[in-house]
Amino acid sequence: MRVALFITCFNDTLFPETGRATVGVLERLGHEVEFPMEQTCCGQMHFNTGYQREAIPLVRRFVEVFEPYDAVVAPSGSCVGMVRDLYPMAADLAEDADLARRVADLAPRVFELSEFLVKKTGVTDVGAYYPHRVTYHPTCHSLRMLKVGDAPLELLRNVRGMELVELGEAEQCCGFGGTFAVKNAETSAAMLGDKIRRVLDTESEVCTAGDNSCLMHIGGGLRRLQAGINTVHLAEILASTEER
């Protein structure tokens, strides 16, 4: 299967190790992974903040770059949710029937990492080893837009050496929400406080998730409390082996 990595702006800029881990997991499973250098932002920030027409050129570029591939995988439920759920809306807004057809063809081939592994390829054990006590936060876009369900948990349960601890009220939003955290800072901080208390209750060493945006938000709260709990992207846990 010819697979393309869609790295997303957040990971490319702040968390390149997550992209490397994603490639490592996919290649370990025998996939040929390509990184199209022409890729750019998916346009989610523009679209969600009201600049929907300004996002259309980015939608066109995404389609042009990724439509040759059998599958497109990203370590982000947020950006994949943009492509799968909102690109059809953007194509309608553009009143471009050809773009709408190409989006309809490509969008079902764009996957968040855990759903690609579990739901597309049927893999639940990637041969990972991670000797830590870990809790998992399901991010809103992966949970509610992509409906990845228990796919991340199925993968984590098969990580050797790891103790997986259930997070209380796990489906509650952490309060990040991209520009929501900027526009509604007090509400965002209150939601983060609730999430932090739940993470502390687990007495975990690590909090993981499928989106670094949420992990950055949660990690900031944990660091301010000097809680001694790290945040690590799901891909990096899955990429870990006894040799590393």
Domain with CATH 3.40.50 in the chain: 133-239
Predicted TM-score of the model (pTM): 0.94
Residue 221 has pLDDT above 90, yes or no: yes
Tens digit of each residue's pLDDT (9 = 90 or more) over 15-64: 999 999 999 999 999 999 999 999 999 999 899 889 999 999 999 999 99
Q: DSSP letters of 177-232?
A: TTTHHHHTHHHHHHHHHHHHHHHHHHT-SEEEES-HHHHHHHHHHHHHTT---EEE
Helix (H, G, I), strand (E, B) or coil at 7: coil
Q: Domain spanning 133-239: which CATH class is it, in words? A: alpha beta
Tens digit of each residue's pLDDT (9 = 90 or more) over 140-177: 999 999 999 999 999 999 999 999 999 999 999 999 98
